[in-house]
Amino acid sequence: MGKRNANEWKRHGIQALWALLTNSYLIGFAQGKIYKGKLKNLCVPGLNCYSCPGALGACPIGAMQAVIGSWNFKFAFYVAGFLVFTGALMGRFVCGWLCPFGLFQDLLHKLPFPWKVGAFKGDKLLRKLKYLVFAVFVVLLPLVLVDVLGQGAPYFCKLICPAGTLEGGIPLVLMNKSMQSALGVLYAWKNVLLLITVILSLLIYRPFCKYICPLGAVYSVFNPISVFRYRVDKGKCTGCGACARACKMQVDPAKDANHPECIRCGACKKACPVKAIQGHGNLSS
């Protein structure tokens, strides 16, 4: 195993550990139930469906839609504050290290496939889609499209989120006969979206994170100013381009070490032959 591969597996180990830690209500998987304790007051930083049988915390995107779509609140200060706090500290480090659905896509992309797609025409434009998804499905629709009681549905979760299908929908339906009898077009639609995500993940590195994820969209805004960020020592950098070639998110760290698309996976740091890229988060500078 090469040094770069070993480092990547180390990251996957941490991702898996975090996923296990935040989804450690294992009895839920056996019984087809979800955790109902007070820990669910707290949001987890990554995209992690709160209807996953193992989930101990609340998904920030789901929680935001729940508050915005409630009849008495039209802005989610608690969840927005959590996103600002987490984003300001870490930016998209969360995507690279603390998101179970990111790990799922990482592992899928490792599977052998006849061809892998890097950058393609329209890729840059497509990456803006996640901001639209956030604005429309997470904020606008739950706010505007309400029932007679003034309550909006979590439209992103309902119509798009493949993480909810994978982590909540499939295990719960497998374990509950009553749910199996209630399956319909929506469940089929969400499974099709999950299947598309799986297939695309074989071809493209993290397609959901790049193009769709509203959480990644929010954290990306904080990347350039977050406390933990990357810095390139311009004195050391030889401009060899090794970092850009190593980046699966198609970022060129030598040009912009804190690009909104950087998920802080560290591949560029490991690839740099002169160790010009470093992660910093201290106040001494």
Nearer to another protein, 67 or 203 (CB): 67
Burial 107-141 (b: 16+ CB within 10 A, else e): ebbeeeeeeeeeeeeeeeeebeebbebbeebbbeb
204: three-class secondary structure by DSSP? strand
Among 232, 265, 267, 271, binds another protein (CB under 8 A): 232
Q: How far is the CB of 53 from another protein (least distance, A)?
A: 9
CB contact at 8 A, 243 and 254: yes
How far is Cα 251 from Cα 246, in angstroms, rounded to an integer? 9
Place of tokens 């987490």: 86
Among 18, 23, 46, 49, binds another protein (CB under 8 A): 49
User: Which string of x and - marks every residue 121-160 that binds another protein (by CB under 8 A)?
Assistant: --------------------------------xx--xx--
CB contact at 8 A, 148 and 156: no
Q: The dihedral of CA 278, 14, 107, 195: what is its sign?
A: negative
For position 207 contacting another protein by CB under 8 A, the verdict is no
For position 7 contacting another protein by CB under 8 A, the verdict is no
Among 47, 258, 262, 263, binds another protein (CB under 8 A): 258
Interaction with another protein in 12-41: which residues (CB under 8 A)? 34-38, 40-41
Among 135, 183, 195, 274, binds another protein (CB under 8 A): 183
Instruction: Choose the binding region for another protein from 103-111, 184-192, 205-213, 238-246 (rule: CB under 8 A).
Output: 184-192
33: three-class secondary structure by DSSP? coil
